Amino acid sequence: MSQFHGRLMIDLLGTDISAEEHRLLRDPQVGGVILFARNIIDRQQICDLVAQIRQIAPQLLLAVDQEGGRVQRFTHGFTRLPPMQMLGDAVVKDAMQGLALCHETGWLMASEVLSCGLDISFAPVLDVDRELSSIIGNRSFSDSPDIVVAAAQAFIGGMREAGMAATGKHYPGHGGVVADSHLQAPVDQRSMAVLVERDLVPFSRLSEQLGGVMPAHMTFAEIDPHSVGFSRFWLRDILRDKLGFKGVIFSDDLSMKGADIAGSYRDKASLALDAGCDMILVCNSRSGALEVLDYMHSEGLAGSEKIASMMARQAPHAEVPCWAELTASPRWLAIVERLSRLLGG
């Protein structure tokens, strides 16, 4: 039987669920929750918080940004993950060993997140960059599209083995501009021909292996006047029709400055959904989330069937081991030791 999910993903203010948040989690237009560092004390508290959320609304998609490097929300009690650039460099140094490292790191990251009861980490980053972008940099596997594809494919394979769907970001590529879309609205002047040969390569070649895609809050002025996350051209014509992507399109956080060019939160939500986003994220602005909810209710927006495909317990895989079983396994111990050596620990 098909399950329809609300199309708004929200955040929580602290380490406990407030009375207001209890009501929000039950709102039929809310389909997911993303956790941040402010929601976390330690691993056991994360498990308890997730269990509380599941008790209130078991259908919600629960997410975190657990990329590795400087974007790792779960730290205390979890394996320290390297920035993806270190994995890409390992592939360049020794393809066989490097790809095995990518696979095992993807498996470990996903296994640790899943063991706490969440569904997904918004990973991996598929941007092609090394040091140009102020917000991407070493979050990218490489400034070579081929290395990004190879490393990400192995990483995704590890995630999928653990039972987690992968989300590629930030489509069609944030690695060509210095500006940070959290702080401003980047404009990339490059042509489609350049993007096809570089930034779009990972999304094109990995589209069938991705469960989700997250577009960038940026404008490619020579190609389309609209910011990617609000553009039917980018989301429908290119991502869906040309690249053949069939999974879930998540907006990036609509509270980011890069999204403000679209207007109010109501305007941003309307444009993102009309452009083709299946689920929109409104984080770090409770008033913005409430404004979007008012809009969604006033429009009577229907839920999405696609979102169920991202939920871990919907996936056809072996049961996720409990934390004690995971951390006692020879495989987990081996990859933790290898990552520790890689990071100089």
Q: Is 182 labeled as catalytic in the residue annotation?
A: yes
Catalytic residue among 119, 127, 129, 252: 252
Angle at 112 between CA 109 and CA 115, to 5 degrees: 145
So what's the pLDDT on residue 345? Answer: 65
Number of Cβ atoms within 10 Å of the Cβ of 56: 15
Catalytic residue among 48, 143, 182, 267: 182
So what's the pLDDT on residue 316? Answer: 45
Q: Please give the C-alpha separations between residue 220 and each of 138, 148, 225, 256, 274, in angstroms, as whole numbers.
A: 23, 21, 7, 18, 19
Give residue for tokens 């444009």. Answer: 271
For residue range 165-224, list pLDDT tens digits in order. Answer: 999 999 999 988 876 666 677 899 999 999 999 999 999 999 999 999 999 989 999 999
So what's the pLDDT on residue 83? Answer: 97
So what's the pLDDT on residue 308? Answer: 92
Residues forming a β-bridge with 219: 187
- 82-342: what fold? TIM Barrel (3.20.20)
What region does 225 belong to: left with phi over 0, alpha with psi -120 to 50, or beta?
alpha
Hey, where are the domains in the chain?
82-342
Task: Report the predicted TM-score, pTM, of the whole model to 2 decimal places.
Answer: 0.95
DSSP class per residue in 107-124: HHHHHHHHHTT--EE---
Handedness of CA 172, 174, 175, 177 (dihedral sign): positive
* 236 DSSP assignment: I
Written as tens digits, the pLDDT of the chain (345 aa) is 347 899 999 999 999 999 999 999 999 999 999 999 999 999 999 999 999 999 999 999 999 999 999 999 999 999 999 999 999 999 999 999 999 999 999 999 999 999 999 999 999 999 999 988 888 999 999 999 999 999 999 999 999 999 999 999 999 999 888 766 666 778 999 999 999 999 999 999 999 999 999 999 899 999 999 999 999 999 999 999 999 999 999 998 998 776 767 689 999 999 999 999 999 999 999 999 999 999 999 999 999 999 999 997 544 444 677 899 999 999 999 999 999 999 996
Can you tell me the distance from the alpha carbon of 240 to that of 324, in angstroms, rounded to the nearest whole number?
41
> Are 8 and 29 within 8 A, CB to CB?
yes
So what's the pLDDT on residue 339? Answer: 97
